[in-house]
């Protein structure tokens, strides 16, 4: 057994850990970067990059099937080569991971350890036969798919968002259990690849954190593509039925029977096997590391970034966690998590871009508010593209004129939302947006028009 001392130890080479290693190393610090699985974390290996690569393939297939709508003639029926789709996805992931590994290897002051890290004390970590010590330790251990102990779950083979990436065959009938962001992206994607899709959700609507009008529009988009959705499922259970899997979801209703089952029922932080109790690091009841506004844990000298701290579940929030930690440690810049405005996207087609408060949250706050809304059927660019599902909505504080939130569900919604998000960061009033001159034709050019047509929020 060897003991090595570093200036900093980073556990997890994800979207916060890897850039922090580079920044600390550039500042002259010796760094031990520990990764037990794959460099790049969820985003590179099983999340954003591979799934959005497959979303692009699914969009191409969907558009090809609609060729006649645009006056385009194809010589034969549209087919899907799932093996080539997977190979393309794998190449994107492997290239990204290889580039990251090469970059890490080029840091003279950084040592990459492959293995499972566990605390021995507040400043000592064991990786295999190595003991590593440092005065500063950073956790970036990410999360994994939750697998609730539902009836019959251990009697079947099921897929998660991670194992879906290794699937070599196109499911004949994929049953997706869960009706939120990850599940719906997979549902539409595989429907466009040719699978029959059933979505089962225990809540009374999809994407429960969104406003009801957004949820209803998302349901309509999916059903328009032939996806079967069951809501209000209160009796979910699983059983083998020959070569297939039977999924019960509500008493008195016939079960859904499919060839494959995808569980998309939330995420669990990877904190349960780190030996945090030996370091005295506190976690909340769900296992997330408790951190303050600058991502410091309950133990001086230990920070937590990314999905394991429960302060965000996205690549962009993980990367921002790195920026906050680096700014405080190295730049004398007191950045905070509370400076962040909530923003994210749902990558179905058309995508949903979201920032700030929902309408429900605004109403709950009790403030006087204004709202502006426009369907994509009244957006020229959407009409020209033949993609008119969805709508845009802006929420504004009636007294301060500050923008409170925005939803853009429609073509380019994941990009257009940044017009509003950046103004919110600038703390500009909605009047700034109302007077902006956007490029025509574009989906985002209607945002100033909406800002000119605000009405009291009922």
Q: Tell me the C-alpha distance between 143 and 267, whole Å.
A: 6
Instruction: Classify 194 as helix, strand or coil.
Output: coil
Whether the upstream peptide bond of residue 441 has omega within 30° of 0, thus cis, is yes
232 DSSP assignment: S
Q: Which of 419, 391, 393 is nearest to 405 (CA)?
A: 393
Q: Tell me the C-alpha distance between 293 and 299, whole Å.
A: 14
Cβ atoms within 10 Å of 449's Cβ, excluding its own: 16
40 DSSP assignment: T
Q: What value, to the nearest 5°, has the Cα angle with vertex 430 and ends 426 and 435?
A: 100
Q: Tell me the C-alpha distance between 253 and 276, whole Å.
A: 45
Q: Which residues contact 431 (CB under 8 A, 6 or more apart)?
A: 401, 451
Residue with tokens 């799934």: 51
Residues assigned a catalytic role: 440
Cβ atoms within 10 Å of 204's Cβ, excluding its own: 11
The values of phi and psi at residue 47, to 5°, are -115, -115
Q: Which residues contact 3 (CB under 8 A, 6 or more apart)?
A: 130, 131, 132, 133
Helices 17-26 and 82-105 sit at what angle, rounded to 10 degrees? 20
226 DSSP assignment: T
Give the 3-state secondary structure percentages of the chain, helix then strand then coil, rounded to 5: 35, 25, 40
As a whole number of Å, the CA-based R_g of the chain is: 24
Q: Tell me the C-alpha distance between 152 and 237, whole Å.
A: 6
Q: Tell me the C-alpha distance between 200 and 222, whole Å.
A: 13
- Beta strands 267-269 and 256-258 are unpaired
Q: Which two structure tokens, joined as six digits, stand for 154?
A: 């251990």
């Amino acid at each position: 057994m060897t003991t090595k001392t570093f200036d900093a130890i980073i556990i997890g080479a994800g979207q916060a850990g890897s850039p922090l290693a580079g920044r600390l190393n550039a500042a002259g610090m010796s760094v031990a970067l520990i990764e037990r699985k794959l460099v790049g974390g969820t985003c590179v290996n099983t999340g954003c990059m591979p799934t959005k690569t497959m979303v692009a393939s699914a969009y191409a297939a969907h558009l090809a099937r609609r060729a006649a709508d645009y006056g385009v003639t194809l010589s034969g029926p549209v087919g899907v080569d799932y093996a080539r789709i997977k190979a393309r996805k794998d190449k994107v992931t492997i290239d990204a991971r290889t580039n990251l590994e090469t970059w890490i290897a080029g840091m003279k002051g950084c040592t990459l350890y492959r293995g499972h890290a566990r605390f021995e004390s507040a400043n000592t970590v064991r990786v295999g036969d190595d003991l590593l010590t440092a005065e500063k330790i950073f956790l970036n251990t990410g999360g994994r798919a939750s697998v609730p102990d539902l009836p019959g779950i251990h009697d079947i083979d099921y897929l998660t968002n991670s194992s879906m990436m290794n699937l070599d065959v196109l499911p004949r009938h994929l049953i997706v259990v869960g009706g939120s962001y990850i599940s719906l992206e997979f549902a539409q994607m595989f429907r466009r690849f040719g699978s029959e899709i059933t979505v089962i959700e225990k809540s009374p609507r999809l994407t429960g954190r969104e406003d009801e009008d957004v949820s209803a529009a998302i349901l309509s988009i999916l059903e328009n593509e032939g996806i079967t959705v069951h809501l209000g499922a209160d009796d979910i259970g699983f059983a083998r039925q020959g070569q297939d899997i039977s999924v019960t979801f509500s008493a008195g209703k016939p079960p859904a029977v499919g060839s494959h089952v995808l569980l998309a029922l939330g995420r669990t932080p990877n904190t349960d096997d780190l030996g945090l109790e030996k370091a005295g690091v506190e976690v909340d009841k769900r296992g997330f590391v408790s951190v303050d506004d600058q991502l410091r844990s309950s133990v001086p000298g230990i920070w937590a970034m990314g999905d394991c701290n429960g302060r965000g579940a996205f690549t962009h929030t993980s990367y921002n966690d790195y920026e906050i930690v680096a700014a405080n440690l190295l730049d004398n810049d007191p950045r905070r998590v509370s400076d962040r405005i909530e923003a994210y996207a749902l990558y179905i087609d058309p995508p949903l871009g979201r920032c700030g408060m929902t309408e429900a949250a605004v109403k709950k706050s009790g403030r006087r508010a204004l709202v502006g809304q426009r369907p994509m059927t009244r957006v020229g660019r959407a009409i020209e593209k033949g993609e008119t599902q969805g709508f845009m909505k802006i929420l504004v504080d009636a007294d301060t004129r500050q923008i409170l939130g925005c939803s853009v569900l429609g073509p380019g919604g994941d990009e257009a939302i940044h017009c509003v998000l950046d103004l919110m960061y600038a703390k500009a009033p909605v009047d700034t947006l109302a007077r902006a001159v956007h490029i025509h034709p574009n989906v985002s050019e209607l945002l100033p028009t909406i800002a000119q047509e605000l009405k009291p929020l009922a």
